[in-house]
Amino acid sequence: MAAIEISKVSKIYSGDARAVDNVDIHIEDGEFIVLVGPSGCGKSTLLRMVAGLEAITEGEVKIGGKVVNRKDPAERDIAMVFQNYALYPHMTVYNNLAYGLKNRGTPKAEIAARVKEAARMLELEPYLERKPRALSGGQRQRVAMGRAIVRKPAAFLFDEPLSNLDAKLRVSMRGEIKHLQKRLGTTSIYVTHDQLEAMTLADRLVVLNAGRIEQIGTPLDVYHKP
């Protein structure tokens, strides 16, 4: 059974134009899928439909065998990482990491253990009592990833998570994401317009153009075929 099954999914915002047009992607358990393509090709719309942040016009999304077609993120066991980090400015790093678990009523000791583990993985231990404004861009992005990791979701959805970082930091964070992926093995969908990022991270790439799948395959398949 595929971990995430996107079947004949389309999005029509208004009129006839399809922002996403009849897309089929079957994602295996633990697979890291990158959606890549030029601005406006429908990457973000597709990801947001999988996330339950956008209504699906046609088709079906299944996560772990369960249909999740409603516009309701809580219906799915997923965690998202955004480019703008979406951290709570008034909370410490610890509480930013713990917040989602507290809301779900996770026991305190379990929260502390998960936050500690994520902080160790992401080298955030020295910064747990700081507020986001006292962190660098890379540290903020690590907190955003930590918030997803502590949830232990069935899947991660990344929406251009590195695009607010400078070029050098982007390269090092790309390496960190790759490393985390190896370690956690969580099924992921990652959106980027950066081909190098796509090539480095992807088990399989999905190249979108005008809402349709233009190519799908390993980085080798997609970039090295004549």
Exposed e or buried b per residue across 21-42, where buried means at least 16 C-beta atoms within 10 angstroms of its C-beta = bebebebeeebbbbbbbeeebb
- Residue located via tokens 């964070």: 173
**Closer residue to ligand ADP in complex, CB, 13/214:** 13
**To the nearest whole angstrom, how small is the minimum distance from the Cβ of residue 4 to ligand ADP?**
18
CA neighbor of 150 nearest in space, from 123, 193, 110, 195: 110
- 88 counts as binding ligand ADP under rule CB under 6 A: no
- Give yes or no for residue 150 binding ligand ADP (CB under 6 A): no
Among 112, 154, 199, 216, binds ligand ADP (CB under 6 A): 112
Among residues 19, 148, 162, 201, the one that binds ligand ADP under rule CB under 6 A:
19
Q: Quick one: 225 exposed, middle or buried, by C-beta within 10 A (0-12, 13-18, 19+)?
A: exposed
Among candidates 176, 204, 210, which has minimal Cα distance to 190?
Answer: 204
- The C-alpha atoms of residue 81 and residue 151 are separated, in whole angstroms, by 12
Question: Which is closer to ligand ADP, CB of 24 or CB of 28?
Answer: 24
- For ligand ADP, the closer CB: 43 or 174: 43
Q: Does 10 bind ligand ADP (CB under 6 A)?
A: no
CB of 17 to ligand ADP, least distance (A): 7
CA 172 to chain CA mean position, Å? 18
Nearest to ligand ADP by Cβ — which residue? 44
Helix axes 137-150, 108-121, angle to 10 degrees: 140
Residue 135 CB, nearest distance to ligand ADP (Å)?
15
CA distances for 118 relative to 12, 41, 98, 185, angstroms = 39, 34, 10, 15
Shortest Å distance, C-beta 177 to ligand ADP: 19
In 3D space, the residue among 203, 148, 145, 137 whose CA is nearest the CA of residue 170 turns out to be: 137
- Considering the complex, state which of residue 95 and residue 200 has its C-beta at the smaller distance from ligand ADP: 95
Angle at 158 between CA 214 and CA 44, to 5 degrees: 50
Which residues 21-50 are close enough to bind ligand ADP by CB under 6 A? 37, 39-45
8 A C-beta contact, residue 170 and residue 197: yes
Minimum CB distance to ligand ADP, residue 31 (Å): 21
To the nearest whole angstrom, how small is the minimum distance from the Cβ of residue 202 to ligand ADP? Answer: 16
192 binds ligand ADP (CB under 6 A): no
Number of residues that bind ligand ADP (CB under 6 A): 16
**Chain residues in the site for ligand ADP (CB under 6 A):** 13, 19, 37, 39-45, 94-95, 108, 112, 128-129
